Amino acid sequence: MTRYMLILASALVLTIGGTPLARQVALRVGLMDQPSARKVHRSPIPLLGGVVIYLSFIVALVLFGDRFYVNQVVGIFLGATLVSFVGLWDDRRELSPLLRLLGQIVAALILIASGIQVHLFRWDGLNILITMLWVVGITNALNFLDNMDGLSGGIAAIAATFYLLFALMNGQYLVGALAAALLGACLGFLVYNFNPASIFMGDSGALFLGFTLAAVGIKLRFPDNVHIVTWMVPVLVMGLPIFDMTLVVFSRLRRGLNPMTSPGKDHISHRLVVMGASQREAVLICYLISCVLGILALFVSQASIAEGYAIGIAVALAGLWGIWRLEKALEMGDRA
């Protein structure tokens, strides 16, 4: 526990100290997120916050992580570095969706080559396919969610908190160390990113957080329960980003738009604002939903097969109702 706290505190301090420097660098080199009709901010905001999150995460683990365990996560480090670099390049040059996707696929393959993959079925090919879908999907889901001050960083911090709890419950030092580093980096960044934000993480941060959370979710183990139940645990912890991406993809396809090349104000946070919430309130509501899903994940981790699937089905039905309700909110906003 002491080592976890050292990792968390070091990542927190490094991010708090490094983010103002990154902001100055972004201002100097002109790496800014410009306002547009599809965005909620009205003046240019410096990027590069994601670089600080990435560096703080790595440095905290190198300084205070056990060398034996750190050597086991070289695949996570390499894959996370690749997606963070792709995101930084996209922040600077605006890459095509195909190139971004290719970078994420290569990062997922690095993860699989290092031995980190899903082991749900007897067939390796199916396990590899599910791993690819999970890693690429969650990586993009966190990036999709990065659309309002403090949203993506806060949701990542909540997910990391629950991963840390699971690690403590099951004696998984490696997962605990990774989760503690993520939590500290996210909390430190939120000091500057919560509304009104003075810096954004950019794609470099959102893609890094999504990839790392996906990888840590795969590493979770529950020795006191069976895979047929516990596979739902990381899905529930990451439920809010999954819901948001599902909502956006469904909505854009329904309206005849390309989900990857037609950005707009159609995420859960935007729709909550249309329904009357302020930006801060919308983000806090998303935090609350994510916490509830994390608590349900705690129950599922200890549940029987019947109990686990009852919770899973109930959450899925609630998600379908949420999509229908929020689609109505979008239609109201369009008419307004």
pLDDT means per 10 residues, the chain with 336 residues, are 90 96 90 70 83 95 74 84 92 85 95 90 92 96 93 97 95 91 97 92 94 95 91 97 94 85 83 90 97 97 95 96 83 56
State residue 336's pLDDT score: 47
The pLDDT, as a whole number, for residue 68 is 56
**Gyration radius of the chain's alpha carbons:** 19
Beta strands in the chain (DSSP E): 32-33, 45-46
**Residue in 234, 271, 236 with CA at minimum distance from that of residue 251:** 271
pTM listed for this prediction: 0.94
d(CA 290, CA 230): 18
- What is the pLDDT at residue 74? 86
- CA dist., res. 12 & res. 191, Å (int): 10
What are the residues facing 51 on neighbouring strands? none
- Rounded CA-CA distance 43/199 in Å is 11
Q: Crossing angle of helices 173-193/49-64, nearest 10°?
A: 150
* pLDDT at site 122: 87
pLDDT value of position 127: 94
User: In sequence order, what are the residues at sequence separation of 6 or more whose Cβ sits closer than 8 angstroms to the Cβ of residue 301?
Assistant: 166, 169, 222, 225, 230, 233
Tokens 């909505």 sit at which residue?
A: 251
Contact (CB, 8 A) for 50 and 197: no
